[in-house]
């Protein structure tokens, strides 16, 4: 079984909704890193030296490769990445190897078979 790592950077008020949508699309879990910071195409606005940007969360999903695209697209819709500039991004990278996922593999096998 091959995996992809989906990484989503989302506004912190959308974290729970994005996680729930990803789970419905086939993700079996998520790791959240709170209070990530970043800068997009345009610099963040400040007010007397204080940043006015919203906090971001980094969501990490280790998912089976056949489910990854659907989960990625679901995250993008729920996070409104294409609808509103600056709301977040998501991308996927190949995972060469993983340990500690034996229990998930058994659940994923039936999920992938149902999708194919």
Q: Report the CATH number at residue 91.
A: 3.30.70.120
For the chain, the domain total comes to 1
Asked whether residue 46 is domain-assigned, the answer is no
How far apart (Å, rounded) are the C-alpha atoms in residues 67 and 3? 9
The 10s digit of each residue's pLDDT in 2-23 is 899 999 999 989 999 999 999 9
Residue whose token pair is 């996922």: 101
Asked whether residue 45 is domain-assigned, the answer is no
What is the DSSP code (8-state) at residue 15? H
Tokens representing 55? 């906090």
Asked whether residue 55 is domain-assigned, the answer is yes
The 10s digit of each residue's pLDDT in 97-111 is 888 887 777 777 766
Instruction: Quote the domain boundaries for residue 67.
Output: 3-40+51-115
How far apart (Å, rounded) are the C-alpha atoms in residues 17 and 47? 30
Residue 44 has pLDDT above 70, yes or no: no
- CA torsion sign for 3, 66, 104, 81 is positive
Cβ count near 14 (within 10 Å): 22
In this prediction the pTM is 0.81
β-bridge partners, 5: 62, 93
In the chain, the percentage of residues whose pLDDT exceeds 70 is 77
Asked whether residue 19 is domain-assigned, the answer is yes
């Amino acid at each position: 079984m091959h995996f992809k790592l989906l990484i989503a950077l989302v506004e912190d008020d959308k974290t729970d909704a994005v996680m729930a949508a990803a789970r419905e699309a086939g993700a079996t879990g998520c790791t959240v890193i709170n209070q990530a910071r970043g800068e997009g195409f345009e610099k963040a606005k400040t007010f007397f030296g204080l940043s006015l940007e919203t906090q971001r969360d980094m969501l990490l999903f280790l998912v089976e490769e056949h489910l990854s695209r659907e989960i990625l697209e679901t995250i993008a819709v729920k996070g409104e990445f294409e609808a509103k500039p600056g709301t977040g991004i998501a991308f996927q990278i190949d995972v060469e190897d993983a340990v500690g996922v034996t229990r998930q593999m058994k659940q994923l096998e039936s999920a992938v078979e149902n999708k194919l």
